[in-house]
DNA sequence: CAGTATCCCTTATGATACTG
DNA sequence: CAGTATCATAAGGGATACTG
C-alpha cells in the first residue's frame, strides 16, 4: 500500500504512492508504452508475477493506471495523472545517468538489453527486407551469450536461439561495453575505434549500423564534469 | 540499503538509492536547507531518530550528502549529486500538487505547517520591530490549537505556548483551510471572502498579512482541468 | 495470456528509552 | 545537540508452482 507519512506536503503525498519497490519501474514501463501483463513483465524480469499484479492493482486504485479488459485482451494504460508522471521518470533517469555511472556485473542483463534495443530500432535506417543481427557477448555465460534480432516489415523480434536466417551483421562486444553504448556512457565511434565493440559484415552496411539503433533516451544527457574528487557509490549497508 | 533491481536502466539505479521509505523526504529537507539532525527531524517528525540516522548514513555513503563535523557542530549538506536531485523533488512536488489534492485529516499537522510557514516569511513585507502572529485552529485538539509566530530582526520563531508578547495579528481558520491556503489549493482572497480564514487585528495591517507569507513553492502549480470523471485516491490496499 | 495460490522468512520500521 | 540501544511486530517481498 505505501503507508502514510502523515504530511500534507505534496512530495510526501506523491511518495506515499510511488516509493514502494518496483512501482516507479512499472510506471517507466507504462510510460515506455508496454501494456500487456507479460509485456510489462519483460521489463521487470526479476519481479514475481504476484507482486507485479499487486502493484498494477495499486496503480489502478491510485488513479495512475487504467485496466482495460476487452474481451480477454487485458491492457494497462496510464491515466492523465499517470502520463503526468513522465517528468518524474525523466528527472530520475537524468539523475541516474549523471550520477550513477558504475554498473555492477549483476545489472548487465542481456535479455533486458535486447528488449530495450528491439523497442528502439530506427526502421527507416535499416535496410529493406529482412535484416538479421547477431549479437555475441563473449564473456557472458553460454546460455545467454548469443542473441539475434530479426528486423523485417517495421517489426523487430528478439531471439535467444538462432532463428536460422542468414546473418546480416554480427556485433561482438563484452556485454558491459554494449550496455555502455546503449546508455550513452560510451559512443559508437570510440567503442569501434578501440575495438571494444566490433561490427562484422558487408563493408557498405557496417558503417551504417549505429544509425539503426536509437539509444536510450537518456544517452544524450550531459555527464557532470569529473571534478577534483568525488565519491561515487551505491548504498551498501 | 535499498536492494538491487539488477537492471542497468538509470531509473532503476536511481530508485535503488531513493525508493526507500523517508529517503526522498530527507532529500527534500536537505534541498530546503535544513542541516542539523534535530532540524531535519522537525521536517520528518514521525520518523524515529534511529531511522533518520540510518538514512542519513545511507545518503552519505551514496554520495548524495556530506556529513561535516566541525568540532561537535554536525551538519549535513548535499553534495553536487545531491543538489542535482532538486529537479526530482520538484517534479514529485508538482505531480503531487496536481494530482493529490485530497489531504486526509491525519496529514494535517499544525506543527509541520507552522514550521513550513516560519521558514518562508517575507521579512521585507512584515512590519519592522516585533510582530507576533497568533494562529488559532478551531476544531484542532486543545494542545495543538494555538500557535504563535514571533517575527523580529529578520528571524521567526514558532511557539506552541503563548510567548507573552502582545499579539499583532490573529489568524483563525480550520487547520484544513490554512493548509489549503499554504499549499495553494485555496487562495487568500477566496478564503478570506468566504470566511474560512479570518484575520483579526488593526485594519491597516490586516490587508497586508497575506504578503507576509511566501506560500509553498508548489502553490503556483497549475491544477489539471477537472475533467469529466476522474477517480482520485490513495492506495488503500 | 494473465494472472493466483502458497509459503517462508528476512528486514524494515515503529516505539521507546537512554547517552556522551 | 546528535545521536544509540533495544525490542517486537508486521509485512514486504522472493521463489515457485499452479490455473481458467
* pLDDT mean across residues, chain B: 92
Which positions on chain C have an atom < 7 Å from some protein CB?
A: 1-6, 12-17
B186 CA: distance to closest CA in chain A (Å): 14
CB environment A192-217: b (16+ within 10 A), e (fewer): beeebbebeeeeeeeeebbebbebbb
Q: E-assigned strands of B29-140?
A: 65-70, 73-78, 131-136
Cell numbers placing A54: 499487486
What letter does residue A202 receive in the DSSP assignment? -
Q: Are B25 and A2 within 8 A, CB to CB?
A: no
Q: What is the pLDDT of residue A3?
A: 85
Contact B11/A116 with Cβ under 8 angstroms? no
pLDDT per residue over B85-131, tens digit each? 999 999 999 999 999 988 999 999 999 999 999 999 999 999 999 99
Instruction: Give the separation between CA B135 and CA B150, rounded to whole angstroms.
Output: 11
Looking across all nucleic acid strands, the nucleotide with the smallest C1' to CA distance from residue B51 is C13
Q: What is the pLDDT of residue B225?
A: 80
Q: Are B227 and A88 within 8 A, CB to CB?
A: no
Residue of A nearest to B90 (CA): A11
> Percentage of chain B with pLDDT > 90?
88
Q: Are B16 and A234 within 8 A, CB to CB?
A: yes
Comma-separated ranges of CATH 1.10.10.10 domains in chain A: 10-99
Reduced to 3 states (helix: H, G, I; strand: E, B; else coil), residue B107 is helix
Give the orientation angle of helix A175-183 with respect to helix A110-118, to 10 degrees. 40
Of the pLDDT bands very low, low, confident and very high (cuts 50, 70, 90), residue A229 is very low
Residue where the block lists cell 550513452: A184
pLDDT per residue over A140-154, tens digit each? 999 899 999 999 999
Q: What is the mean pLDDT of residues A175-186?
A: 98
Residue A198 pLDDT > 60, yes or no? yes
- φ and ψ at residue B165, rounded to 5 degrees: -70, 155
- A75 Cβ within 7 A of any nucleic strand C atom: yes
- A53 Cβ within 7 A of any nucleic strand D atom: no
- A51 Cβ within 7 A of any nucleic strand C atom: no
Q: Which CATH number fits domain B10-99: 3.30.430.20, 1.10.3720.10, 3.40.50.800, 1.10.10.10?
A: 1.10.10.10
> Percentage of chain B with pLDDT > 70?
95
Q: What is the mean pLDDT of residues B135-142?
A: 95
Of the pLDDT bands very low, low, confident and very high (cuts 50, 70, 90), residue B227 is low
Q: What is the mean pLDDT of residues B51-68?
A: 94
What letter does residue B99 receive in the DSSP assignment? H
pLDDT per residue over B157-176, tens digit each? 999 999 999 999 999 999 99
* Long-range CB contacts (within 8 A, 24+) of A54-61: A54/B237, A55/A20, A55/A22, A55/A23, A55/A26, A56/A26, A57/B237, A58/A1, A58/A2, A58/A17, A58/A20, A58/A23, A58/B235, A58/B237, A59/A23, A59/A26, A59/A27, A59/A30, A61/B233, A61/B235, A61/B236, A61/B237
Comma-separated ranges of CATH 3.30.1050.10 domains in chain B: 105-212
Tell me the CA–C1' distance in angstroms for A31 and C2.
20
Residue B235 pLDDT > 80, yes or no? no
Q: Are B16 and A80 within 8 A, CB to CB?
A: no
Residue B58 pLDDT > 80, yes or no? yes
Residue A233 pLDDT > 50, yes or no? no
Q: Which helix (H) or strand (E) holds B20?
A: none
CB pairs under 8 A between A and B: 241
pLDDT per residue over A30-60, tens digit each? 999 999 999 999 999 999 899 999 999 999 9
Q: Looking at domain A105-212, which CATH architecture does it have?
A: 2-Layer Sandwich (3.30)
- The sign of the torsion formed by the CA atoms of B178, A80, A28, A171 equals negative
- B38 Cβ within 7 A of any nucleic strand C atom: no
Q: What is the mean pLDDT of residues B44-67?
A: 93
Contact B24/B39 with Cβ under 8 angstroms? no
- B48 Cβ within 7 A of any nucleic strand C atom: yes
What letter does residue B161 receive in the DSSP assignment? S
Contact A183/A213 with Cβ under 8 angstroms? no
Residues 90-119 of B with CB under 7 A from strand D: none
> Percentage of chain A with pLDDT > 70?
95
Contact A130/A165 with Cβ under 8 angstroms? yes
Number of separate helices (H) and strands (E) present in chain A = 11, 7
pLDDT per residue over A68-117, tens digit each? 998 888 999 999 999 999 999 999 999 999 999 889 999 999 999 999 99
Sequence-distant (6+) residues with CB within 8 A of A14 are A88, B92, B93, B95, B96, B100
Amino acid at each position: 500500500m505505501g503507508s502514510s507519512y502523515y504530511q500534507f506536503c505534496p512530495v510526501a503525498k506523491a511518495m506515499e504512492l510511488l516509493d514502494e519497490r518496483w512501482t516507479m519501474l512499472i510506471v517507466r514501463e507504462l510510460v515506455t508504452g508496454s501494456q500487456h501483463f507479460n509485456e510489462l513483465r519483460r521489463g521487470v524480469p526479476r519481479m514475481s508475477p504476484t507482486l507485479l499484479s499487486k502493484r498494477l492493482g495499486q496503480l489502478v486504485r491510485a488513479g495512475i493506471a487504467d485496466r482495460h479488459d476487452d474481451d480477454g485482451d487485458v491492457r494497462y494504460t496510464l491515466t492523465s495523472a499517470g502520463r503526468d508522471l513522465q517528468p518524474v521518470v525523466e528527472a530520475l533517469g537524468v539523475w541516474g545517468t549523471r550520477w550513477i555511472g558504475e554498473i555492477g556485473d549483476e545489472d548487465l542483463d542481456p535479455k533486458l538489453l535486447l528488449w530495450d534495443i528491439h523497442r528502439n530500432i530506427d526502421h527507416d535506417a535499416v535496410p529493406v527486407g529482412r535484416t538479421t543481427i547477431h549479437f555475441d557477448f563473449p564473456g557472458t555465460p553460454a546460455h545467454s551469450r548469443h542473441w539475434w534480432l530479426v528486423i523485417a516489415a517495421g517489426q523487430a523480434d528478439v531471439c535467444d536461439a538462432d532463428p536460422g536466417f542468414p546473418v546480416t551483421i554480427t556485433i561482438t562486444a563484452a556485454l558491459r561495453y554494449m550496455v555502455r553504448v546503449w546508455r550513452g556512457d560510451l559512443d559508437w565511434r570510440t567503442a569501434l575505434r578501440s575495438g571494444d565493440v566490433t561490427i562484422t559484415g558487408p563493408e557498405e552496411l557496417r558503417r551504417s549500423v549505429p544509425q539503426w539503433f536509437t539509444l536510450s533516451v537518456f544517452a544524450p544527457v550531459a555527464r557532470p564534469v569529473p571534478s577534483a574528487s568525488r565519491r561515487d557509490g551505491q548504498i551498501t549497508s
